Structure 1
Amino acid sequence: MEARVLQCLALLVLSAECFGEDDVTYASGFYSKGPQKLSKFSSFSSARLHHFRVPEDTVLARWLLTVTRSGLNCETQDVTVHFRAGAPPVIDPVATAFPNQTAVTLAWNLTLSVGAKQQQNQSMVNVSSPAAGDWFVAAHLPEHDGKIQQKGLPSCSYLFQPQMFIRRAVDTPTLLPNIPQSQTLSRTHTPSILKFFVPEFSTQMSVHIVSCSVEGVAKPSCGLSLLIGSSSLGRDSRLTYNCTGEEGPQCSASVATPPWDSWVQVAVTTSLANVTVNFNILANYTVGCKPQSAPADFNSNFTVSVGNNGTVSTGNASAAATVAVGDVLSGWCVRTPAVFREETDVLALRFTVAGGNLTVPSDPPTLITFDLNSVATSGGTLNAHISLNTSSVIGGFDSVRACLTPSAPVMALNTSQPCAAAFVQGYSLSVNSSVTETALRIPFPEAAMWYLTLQTLCNDSSDCSNASAVVGVSVSVSACVDECGSYGDCRLLRTHSYLYATCACKAGWRGWGCTDGAEALSFSLQLQSVLFLTLSNLLFLPPIVLALYRGYLPEAAVYTYNMFFSTFYHACDQPGVTVLCIMEYNTLQFCDFLGSCTSVWVTIICMAKLQDLFKYVFFILGALLIAMSMSLDRHGLWNFLGPLLFALITMATAWVYRSVKRRQCFPPLWRRWVCFLLPGVLLALIGVCVYVFAETDANYLYTHSLWHVLMATSIVFLLPPRHTHTQPWGWTHTLCGYKICKNQKDDLYSVS
């Protein structure tokens, strides 16, 4: 109820704001995602990811974050929420080490706290002038404490639901190049928002306040400020220029390397209170460099072939080299070689540069464009690799510097030029005679056009104009970083229609690529784990031998089945390198769970001392029902306890019936109760308590092995003695020429 009230209030506030201005018309929208259950953080796969789409010309995005708790006697709990525009957020709440040559920028986040006496927490996050496009929200609980929570036990659970309200300008004023436009700032202090289109190959964008007046009177300073760009909750996502200290009415702002082929938002505000400010504003862009125009027809001589080992070879390399030389001879300011883009699989792209290798001169720079302007590629990892051919170095060569940036390229590289565009930070790479190869990996790259600029830097010698080198460039998109290495599995996850990949680490390894071995399990500990969990199943040999000796052949078969599949399931369910799987993991797990539950079932039914016909019916019916239950949810605690309780009720009913019929307690011997039943029940209860309450990730090999030992030992105590006159091992026989017969009704024996 509170959530609905808060939603209505938010919509009312948005509606009030929408009709607060007369010059611009605003529209509102509401987007909601279904609630998802939160998990303790262990890797990015345990975070709950939500995907939103912010429309163009949005001036306000407001997220309503709702955390709902269910359960009793819950302590105060923190929920961490991460935001990022353009791609899923890169997070590291447990401060693990990232793989080498991996560039990351952690996403903006906030923490929501649900108090001990609270059932719900609702918080608002406002983003003014948000970047249009894809936005991602990820939420998770604090780090996993290692406690293995059995499914079905009472626990505290948390649901997270994000909802987004947007306020969008329908008729945002558009600035045309070099054409002044009049605007008015009203007394309500609402910013004047405009937009300006920056075409491709623009190197600079400029905004000028030509004149301004306060209440119709021209003033030298109107307290104006310029905000250029959109907010993405990232570093340097918006640029602010304060015009208060400018001399004269004019105020200028210049933005170097603006994003190409996109709209840039310009907001104007004033620091003066309760006044109306009129001003004239104009914007312009500068195209400093354009590449050579591509031919109208497709060059059929240029071919790309893919080998069996995944290598890519290109044809007509000499033609590509000729074009490059032609660029230089014609005086072009940038070289743009052709790029072949190939989609090989889900979250798998490969880019191949025409000619294979590139000759990178000191002037002009070489610009390579990679089309990642699709949200379908933002859930993977961008890989870039540059190698230098040292035998190709010419002139006063010092190094080849490269700069990889999204949205806009850096058109000139030198020792003083930073690798950064107007609103984004780039990624710098360099190769020289000492370091001939370099690589870079970017998890969750932003969905945009990416640009790689390469240029040869000279040493202090005079022969700088002819300096050049040949480099090999390889750029691709893969699902995970190095496929998560030897101690992780790359998992493809989905949130609604959006696909992304993440690593699931094992054997104590952690981190984005499962490369942080600070808490990794040693080989000796891995070997100890597999030996404990498999050899402890040999404790089922005494119950098997005892069942055979007492003539319980079906029970012995079930115990053998349980011992076999439990041994090989735990041999397969191992982290690291000590793994042996004789079947598929899912098959082994199902058979292990089925065997464990069925062993308990047949033992209790055997203790009930039913007639053979009813006993075997219960055996078969119970096995079928347990198999059905395990196929539905083999991790549910009640799927194990349900058959156990039913079998106990059946046994208790049979014992009460026999006690009433014989007018004495069943079993009648006190030694049976004291020496067998009570120890067996005690061992079984201890085993169940260890399995349900004591298991953690750290002590699993000890506690689960103890569970094997206790359950196998309890069967030795609980298995009933063999029938009177029944030979050991259940063999049929005659005694003194007479056949031994068993009365099925009275459990008495007679000689005929």
Structure 2
Amino acid sequence: PVFHTLVLFPRVFVPSYSAILHLELGACTVNVSSTPCAVRVMLGLVTLSESFSRKEFNCTGPCNLFLASPPWEKWLRITVDSLSGPGAGVSFTVTASFTACWPGGPSSFLSFFQSLNRSQEVSQPGGRPSNATLPANTEVADPPGSCLRDHAVIREDLDIVWVRFRILGDTNIPVQAQLPSLLLLNLDSIADSGGTLVVNLLLNKTSPGIGNATVRACLSAASPVLSLNATEDCETAFFQGYGLNVSTSSPEASLVVPYPESDNWFLSLQLVCPEPSAEYLQAKAQLVVLAYLSPCVDDCGMYGQCSLMRRHGYLYAGCNCKAGWDGWGCTDGTKAQSLGAQTLAILLLTLSNLLFLPAIVVALHRYHLVEAAVYTFTMFFSAFYHACDQPGVVVFCIMDYDTLQYCDFLGSVVSLWVTILCMARIKTMLKYVLCVLGTLFIAMSLSLDRRGVWNMLGPSLVALTIMTSAWVFRCVNRRHCYPPSWRRWAFFLLPGVGLALVAGSVYALTETSENYYYTHSLWHMLVATSLVFLLPPGEKQQESWSWSWSRKLFCRYEICQNDRDEMYTAT
């Protein structure tokens, strides 16, 4: 086994414009003779997320560690493990120093940007960061000259997870081969991590006579890449950046970073010369940069819907793709449905609701007017909701999508509620009170959680409890099974219950996003057909149909005779 002695050192603060971190471990001694001074040095951010890595180094004796592009304005924790063996005490000294990289202009773009508050009040640019902010054991080397060119960027908050970055001055950014141009994209808000960072580059023009010039760009968090002509992986000390290139032959490029890290992001731009020469060193390129943070990529296109979600206190957005489309912006059509398949899907989902017509006719014939009205409401809104729910060009919306969805869910649950109450054959006044009261509670429940499982399960259990209690009460009073007719059980109740159980199984067990169009259409047909079997017989009529109909509708304040037989009768 290898024994380690853990040593934790105070944190080291990395100031802005740090190009190289030099960490030196010197005067390393061991209290055991003839034992080498071997240590393992680990460097990492104090608040390390999954986007940032750690650095480990093994060395014997004096160590000189160099890290290019350390994270700006961050605290680093230095951890040292002794590898000299058990019982070996190790002592050493640590010195941290930084090589600064000043911008070409007299202003500091970080100080300038930090002086901008969210109300877009611009203050005067600040100066360079003072060395007094560094720890006592750090030494800053400030070589003469500059090694980057900065451009002031203003953040404009447009909406939730919607930010636009505007570059002050000319829209064209000059890019040179000698020094990289740097843009700061401030995404330090925790809500920014729930969106999508988009960077678009357009090469406007280049200096004549430089041929197929290439502008290399690197997007990284916490610190910029300052040597684009020497690296191609866009990697900083602890972060793997994103690279993209534009050239005269390919003048446009786009980069999409879903759910970016909440931090300062840096876009480094530099003109890369294939053959360094005096002409290339003086060459320039004009680049148009468009950077913004949006909830979804291109609003998810024609085959997706952008949705804002909140979970565990975090707000984030994403595309809900349909019709087989995939990708961050629903642009991957490798498994997409054809136009004919989309047309068939919308016809199945809408026309399958027409099977509610037999249930409506049976309800009217048996004078279950409330039930018939609810079934009509459900059929109408279910058909138009599914016509509006389809992606692409095969879509038809008569009103707002959210309203259609709510009415569809409400009608489905209320249809189940009034049907079971009708089967209970309770007193008419009590039945109407329960219908209205249950509808109000269902509407409240749907407003809280529209897709909750208890929205349908809760009313079903309550209604079945009421129906079972009413049937048991009649069985006890009459000392006979209720409903009394075996024909009612064999030809109506059992088939209706069987269809309802099959519909519930299809809906809960077999329905997926791939077979949604077929299984949900089958669910519509099975539920609508089961209502025809489950609706109880109407009241026995002693008068003619027309007189009975008018008497029931216009009874008003006179005492009307109730000729209803409480027992089920096979008709």
TM-score range, shorter chain: 0.7 to 0.9
Corresponding position: 1:447 with 2:265? no
The 3 A distance-change label for structure 1 pair 338 and 214 is same
**2 CA distance for matches of 1:683 and 1:524?**
30
Report how many residues are paired: 513
**1 CA distance for matches of 2:341 and 2:302?**
17
Please give the secondary structure, in 2, of the residue aligned with 1:243: strand
**Is contact 2:6-2:82 (8 Å) kept?**
no
Aligned match of 2:210: 396
The 3 A distance-change label for structure 1 pair 728 and 569 is farther
Match for 1:258: what amino acid? P
Q: In structure 2, which of residues 78, 90, 100 is the aligned counterpart of residue 266 of structure 1?
A: 78
TM-score normalised to the size of structure 1? Answer: 0.60
Match for 1:513: what amino acid? G
Corresponding position: 1:278 with 2:91? yes
**2 CA distance for matches of 1:682 and 1:192?**
70
Q: In structure 2, which of residues 226, 237, 241 is the aligned counterpart of residue 411 of structure 1?
A: 226
Corresponding position: 1:378 with 2:193? yes
**Is contact 2:45-2:75 (8 Å) kept?**
no
Please give the secondary structure, in 2, of the residue aligned with 1:452: strand
Q: In structure 1, which of residues 210, 222, 241 is the aligned counterpart of residue 37 of structure 2?
A: 222
Per the TM alignment, residue 472 of structure 1 is displaced from its structure 2 partner at its CA by 1.0
**1 CA distance for matches of 2:511 and 2:538?**
34
Aligned match of 1:210: 26
Aligned match of 2:304: 488
Aligned match of 2:460: 641
The 3 A distance-change label for structure 1 pair 331 and 568 is same
Aligned match of 2:562: 744
Superposed, which structure 2 residues align to 1:317-466 within 5 Å? 332-353=146-167, 354-390=169-205, 392-397=206-211, 398-414=213-229, 418-460=233-275, 463-466=279-282
Aligned match of 1:632: 445
Corresponding position: 1:727 with 2:544? yes
The 3 A distance-change label for structure 1 pair 654 and 387 is same
Bigger shift: residues 553-562 or 435-444: 553-562
Q: In structure 1, which of residues 503, 512, 515 is the aligned counterpart of residue 328 of structure 2?
A: 512
- Partner deviation per Cα, 1:660-699 (whole Å, 9 max, x = no partner): 6xxx887776655555555445444544554455544444
**Is contact 1:629-1:639 (8 Å) kept?**
no
Please give the secondary structure, in 1, of the residue aligned with 2:9: strand
Question: Structure 2: where are the runs of 5+ without partners?
Answer: 113-143, 552-558, 567-571
Aligned match of 1:193: 9
**1 CA distance for matches of 2:108 and 2:8?**
44
**Is contact 2:200-2:255 (8 Å) kept?**
yes
**Is contact 1:458-1:467 (8 Å) kept?**
no
Q: In structure 1, which of residues 514, 532, 535 is the aligned counterpart of residue 351 of structure 2?
A: 535
Per the TM alignment, residue 290 of structure 1 is displaced from its structure 2 partner at its CA by 4.3
Please give the secondary structure, in 2, of the residue aligned with 1:411: coil
Aligned match of 1:254: 66
The 3 A distance-change label for structure 1 pair 432 and 652 is same
**Is contact 1:215-1:277 (8 Å) kept?**
yes
- Partner deviation per Cα, 1:511-562 (whole Å, 9 max, x = no partner): 3333334444443333323322322222232333344445554444343333
Match for 1:627: what amino acid? L
**Is contact 2:304-2:391 (8 Å) kept?**
no
Match for 1:373: what amino acid? D
Q: In structure 2, which of residues 425, 431, 436 is the aligned counterpart of residue 618 of structure 1?
A: 431
**1 CA distance for matches of 2:191 and 2:326?**
26
Bigger shift: residues 276-285 or 491-500: 491-500
**Is contact 1:203-1:286 (8 Å) kept?**
yes
The 3 A distance-change label for structure 1 pair 720 and 291 is same
The 3 A distance-change label for structure 1 pair 443 and 599 is closer
**Is contact 1:384-1:474 (8 Å) kept?**
yes
Please give the secondary structure, in 1, of the residue aligned with 2:434: helix
Per the TM alignment, residue 435 of structure 1 is displaced from its structure 2 partner at its CA by 0.6
Superposed, which structure 2 residues align to 1:50-69 within 5 Å? none
Normalized per residue, the structure richer in helix is 2
Please give the secondary structure, in 2, of the residue aligned with 1:463: helix
Match for 1:447: what amino acid? S
**2 CA distance for matches of 1:599 and 1:195?**
65
Please give the secondary structure, in 2, of the residue aligned with 1:578: coil
The 3 A distance-change label for structure 1 pair 413 and 511 is closer
**2 CA distance for matches of 1:228 and 1:678?**
71
Bigger shift: residues 567-576 or 669-678: 669-678
Per the TM alignment, residue 388 of structure 1 is displaced from its structure 2 partner at its CA by 0.9
The 3 A distance-change label for structure 1 pair 570 and 395 is closer
Per the TM alignment, residue 602 of structure 1 is displaced from its structure 2 partner at its CA by 5.0
Please give the secondary structure, in 2, of the residue aligned with 1:403: strand
**1 CA distance for matches of 2:410 and 2:66?**
71
Per the TM alignment, residue 433 of structure 1 is displaced from its structure 2 partner at its CA by 1.0
**Is contact 1:543-1:559 (8 Å) kept?**
yes
**1 CA distance for matches of 2:423 and 2:79?**
82
**Is contact 1:386-1:431 (8 Å) kept?**
yes
Superposed, which structure 2 residues align to 1:83-162 within 5 Å? none
The 3 A distance-change label for structure 1 pair 287 and 505 is same
TM-score normalised to the size of structure 2? Answer: 0.76
- Partner deviation per Cα, 1:394-424 (whole Å, 9 max, x = no partner): 3425222222222222323325565322222
Aligned match of 1:292: 105
- Partner deviation per Cα, 1:227-270 (whole Å, 9 max, x = no partner): 333484768833333323xxxx5332222232333333333332
Aligned match of 1:470: 286
Per the TM alignment, residue 379 of structure 1 is displaced from its structure 2 partner at its CA by 2.6
Per the TM alignment, residue 628 of structure 1 is displaced from its structure 2 partner at its CA by 1.5
- Partner deviation per Cα, 1:133-175 (whole Å, 9 max, x = no partner): xxxxxxxxxxxxxxxxxxxxxxxxxxxxxxxxxxxxxxxxxxx
Superposed, which structure 2 residues align to 1:578-657 within 5 Å? 578-600=394-416, 602-603=418-419, 614-633=427-446, 635-636=453-454, 637-646=456-465, 648-649=467-468, 652=471, 656=475
Question: Structure 1: where are the runs of 5+ without partners?
Answer: 1-186, 300-329, 735-740
Q: In structure 2, which of residues 329, 339, 342 is the aligned counterpart of residue 526 of structure 1?
A: 342
**2 CA distance for matches of 1:405 and 1:256?**
13
**2 CA distance for matches of 1:699 and 1:665?**
42
**1 CA distance for matches of 2:261 and 2:497?**
60
Match for 1:264: what amino acid? L
Bigger shift: residues 412-421 or 665-674: 665-674
Q: In structure 1, which of residues 224, 233, 242 is the aligned counterpart of residue 58 of structure 2?
A: 242
Match for 1:419: what amino acid? C
Match for 1:503: what amino acid? C
Match for 1:452: what amino acid? L
**2 CA distance for matches of 1:373 and 1:559?**
52
The 3 A distance-change label for structure 1 pair 669 and 195 is closer
**Is contact 1:684-1:710 (8 Å) kept?**
yes
- Partner deviation per Cα, 1:619-654 (whole Å, 9 max, x = no partner): 343233233234225642333413541453366258
**1 CA distance for matches of 2:146 and 2:399?**
63
**Is contact 1:607-1:720 (8 Å) kept?**
no
Paired-residue identity, %? 42
The 3 A distance-change label for structure 1 pair 497 and 639 is closer
Per the TM alignment, residue 496 of structure 1 is displaced from its structure 2 partner at its CA by 5.1
Per the TM alignment, residue 192 of structure 1 is displaced from its structure 2 partner at its CA by 4.6
Per the TM alignment, residue 509 of structure 1 is displaced from its structure 2 partner at its CA by 3.0
Bigger shift: residues 669-678 or 411-420: 669-678
**1 CA distance for matches of 2:291 and 2:240?**
19
Aligned match of 2:554: none
The 3 A distance-change label for structure 1 pair 221 and 672 is closer
Match for 1:648: what amino acid? M
**Is contact 1:479-1:490 (8 Å) kept?**
yes
**Is contact 2:30-2:37 (8 Å) kept?**
yes
Aligned match of 1:9: none
